[in-house]
Chains A and B, each alone.
Chain A
Amino acid sequence: MLLRHTPEEISERKAVTINPAKTCQPIGAMYAALGIHGCLPHSHGSQGCCAYHRSTLTRHYKEPIPAATSSFTEGASVFGGQANLVQAFNNIFTVYDPDVIAVHTTCLSETIGDDLPQIRKKALKEGKIPEGKYVMCASTPSYVGSHVTGFSNMVKAMTEFSESTGRKNGKINIIPGWVEPCDMEEIKRIASMMGVKSIVMPDTSGVLNAPLTGQYKMFPDGGTTMDEVKATGDAVGTLALGEWCSADAARALDKKHSVPCSVLDMPFGLKATDRFVDALRKIAGVNVPDELLVERGQLVDLISDMHAWLYHKKVAIAGDPDQLIAMTEFLVSLDMWPMHIVTGTPGKKFEKRIREITAELPFEVNVKAKGDLFLLHQWIKNDPVDLLICNTYGKYIARDEDIPLIRWGFPILDRQGHQYFPTVGYKGGIRLMEKILGAILDRKDRDDPEIKFELVI
């Protein structure tokens, strides 16, 4: 047993988190910043934070993750990190020459009270930020929220650069939330299929799924350009995908430039994709093309074809709130039974949404925000499931309890494909179905006795 010390009996814990289902804000800020073209993320803290975030993102994407750090020492921690950051600006622009530096704080720089905008002002005054270059600042204390909050805060920081010329540009802002590069690409594809001119911000496609060509581009071709970031202020409207990841930025654009926004669920699964497409259609005033309807029909077709294998299958899921809300809804729509649902990210709203989505199930689900995988494992021990959907850390539970695992979420450290094959949209729904069915049917083929073993399923 890998997790041999996890007892079945659940006792209340108030102080210790075991096997977390979240990590800290700055890594989310770093991921978001990589979705800006020509941007170098910068971690304002001691150098371990930056090293850990780069390592984790690298292991997930199998791509280079360039990011710099203020390399705090004890002296900087006592006297403040201003000198370090100003020096870092100068070195970064001289040596690496990005268009943008996206600075985020850490628990260290937050605790000592470093004020990023003030430091930026000073650096500007001292000529350490060259003409035409940008510095984004996000406050991302690690002791508040989770990696999701950090992502949201960095995306909100991007909106600071939005500009309004007073003339609408006919574009729709889409804030995709913390999804994979291929998901962002898929969202753009759907928008362009519908004839919608969109600005997807941030956009890590072409950055974190870049080709191998014999050339290293520290700043790959992808990413939302600063011109696009500026143009978000002139957009017709904003669709924010995911309350936790994207709503703050959308509301900031509304407040700053009166760009109206709707906050939707992330478009995972049939219904959430339907709502996304419908909202996009309405806000942009376009018709949904037949090709997209065909994709929808294909997903519905697959659901009907394979319904027997999904019906009332019990599922445990862990991940981030926006993803879990959409996934739980998708599972319910397949007549599957999501039973145990955990996110490490705080937010009572999460539990409420999940309860609403699962209200018609014939049992009360176990749901917890600010929970951990240790609790999820205990729930599974008490009420076993047929399938676990989780990041790679779930494989320790999956192996101990002999449950099929679908790796979905962040981080995925031991399998490939998440960078390349989207799970958003109708096509993404088909991909999710393929994964779910593959896991369930592989298990059936493994477990069926010889006389029950079947060729055609």
Chain B
Amino acid sequence: MATAKQKMVHWDPADIKAELIKKYPPKVARKRSKQIMINEAAENGTPEITANVRTIPGIITMRGCTYAGCKGVIMGPTRDIVNLVHGPIGCSFYAWLTRRNQTGPGPDDENFMNYCFSTDMQDSDIIFGGEKKLAAAIQEIYDLMHPKAIGVFATCPVGLIGDDIHTVAKNMKEKLGDCNVFAFSCEGYKGVSQSAGHHIANNQIFRHVVGENDVPKEGKYKINLLGEYNIGGDGFEIDRIFNRCGITNIATFSGNSTYDQFASAHQADLNCVMCHRSINYVADMLETKFGIPWIKVNFIGANATAKSLRKIAAYFDDQELKDRVEDVIAEEMPEVEKAIEEIRPRTEGKTAMLFVGGSRAHHYQELFREMGMKVISAGYEFAHRDDYEGRRVLPFLKVDADSRNIEEIEVEPDETRYRPRKTEEQIAALEKAGIKFKSYDGLAPDMEPDTLIIDDLNQYEAEKLVELLRPDLFCAGIKEKYSIQKLGVPMKQLHSYDSGGPYAGFKGAVNFYNEIDRLVNSRVWSYMKAPWQENPQLSAAYVWE
């Protein structure tokens, strides 16, 4: 039970860390202590953190499951693929419209995202197997709606009873003829977090959809945007900026996306990776199979947006694009600067904590920097070591039992369609000019020394951190929101943005400044105590005057 009354003004991160793990049983304390890192500059980078490991049972974690990562995160935002969940009703119900992925029906008037499809497995299906019911469900959906694709998602019992969803999908695809049916073995118990589900989704979408459409896509500067989920309309804002710059976004993986976007993704000339954690697999596979290089971008933060646009322009090495990008930045920035000038006196020096996702705890630091706010502690819910320490650690990552059972698909260069977009010399020249390919340095180098970086933060540690450090703002997800706010500290959801957004790009940055200004300066946080609690002494009896 915490009361966040006193703020520790001068704190030693080692003391805070000790405080966080003090109450744990010894085994838990040992494990957690490896996932809590005091940031400092070390030789060749930052200190080592343990990540992507099992959550300790009974510790109230923020994490979800593999199904959530696969169906909820990656496949959820595609509007014209029917997502059929094979399992008891709950899994499909909870992932029904709860992630705020925005989309419109598009010119083909197809949008299944407002629907929830489930085989609603009953005990008889568990005992006798659910394959027949699954096949029948696919047929019923086809007869009702004629979608161009149906994705089938496995839930926990499906793997346990051994339903062969891939064969059912294959058979139904053949039977239906004009409907691509594919399945995802994303049972909730696989892996240690949502992250395994991202990987499974990436594999299957690459295997079954990417490269299916060779009808040429027009565009001078063709890119894919990977790892952007259009929460609160982020993707709309980024697309608006791309359009202004003359950049053609062939496919977004997967915000506001369509089947055809994925199918045509191999036609792009550059992959821009937003969320490294959830989608780097697709970026690597697209490079190996089709010869499309990838760069890391970030459209969270006005400066980061400008920087990312310049990176894209530098890649295409075309003066017309470079000029256009500079013009767009010059036109967009005044509004951003005006907003910063307005709010910064009220946000300057305030502190924030960010515990979210596999990239957002990093990306959003850009916006807080622009507001003059300091991020004193941050961490991811389901990231791997490379998201903290950079891809330089990839060769040293230990593959444990939980990672080993997530399929790695072998990709070979496509016989006819592999086409390196740049020569080795061009790549070398671009790298010399500062464009890094296949590169991500992670969160730690961007955080100040002596800040605390914590992986898979749990309820107890969150409460303790807020109690000890009393930040002006805490950012995490819906489950954490109200316990933090009960402490009198505003909490911003950075998974679903509460009800706000977009926060990406230039207009999104302005939205975010205003939202954070509203949160950290709200009057409500001064109402915790009634006047008689502040001044409990009784005075002499009142009389009417």
Contacts and interface: CB of A to CB of B under 8 A. Distances in A.
Nearest to A45: B156
A51 B54 contact: no
A7 B144 contact: yes
Contacts of B97: 393
B112 interface: yes
A366 interface: no
A19 interface: yes
A84 B463 CA distance: 24
B94 A56 contact: yes
B57 A70 contact: yes
A38 B527 CA distance: 27
A164 interface: no
B155 A217 contact: no
Interface stretch (A57-65, A186-194, A286-294): A57-65
A46 B156 contact: yes
A457 interface: no
Contacts of B488: 212, 214
Interface in B275-291: none
Contact of A68 (B1, B59, B114): B59
A396 interface: yes
A65 B64 CA distance: 15
Contacts, number: 279
Contacts of B459: 66, 96, 218
A23 interface: yes
A24 B90 contact: yes
Nearest to B85: A17
B200 to A, nearest CB: 13
Nearest to B486: A216
A283 interface: no
A5 B93 CA distance: 19
Contacts of A393: 96-97
Contacts of A23: 89-90, 93-94
Nearest to A26: B90
Nearest to B405: A74
A108 B189 contact: yes
B528 A71 contact: no
A54 interface: yes
A22 interface: yes
B157 A71 contact: no
A372 to B, nearest CB: 9
B379 interface: no
A165 interface: no
Interface stretch (B21-29, B201-209, B326-334): B21-29
Contact of A94 (B25, B115, B191, B477): B25
Contacts of A94: 23-25
B402 A142 contact: no
A304 interface: no
A118 interface: no
Contact of A71 (B57, B117, B122, B123): B57
B487 interface: yes
Interface stretch (A8-16, A235-243, A322-330, A435-443): A8-16
A249 interface: no
Contacts of A141: 88, 123
Given A11-B143, A15-B136, A51 B487 contact: no
A344 B89 contact: yes
A344 B90 CA distance: 12
A108 B157 contact: yes
Given A15-B140, A96-B460, A108-B188, A4 B105 contact: yes
Interface of A: 2-5, 7, 11, 13-20, 22-27, 42, 45-49, 51-56, 58-59, 62-77, 84-85, 87-92, 94-96, 106-108, 111-112, 141-144, 146-147, 210, 212-219, 344, 374, 393, 396, 413
5 contacts: A47-B55, A47-B193, A74-B402, A90-B58, A143-B88
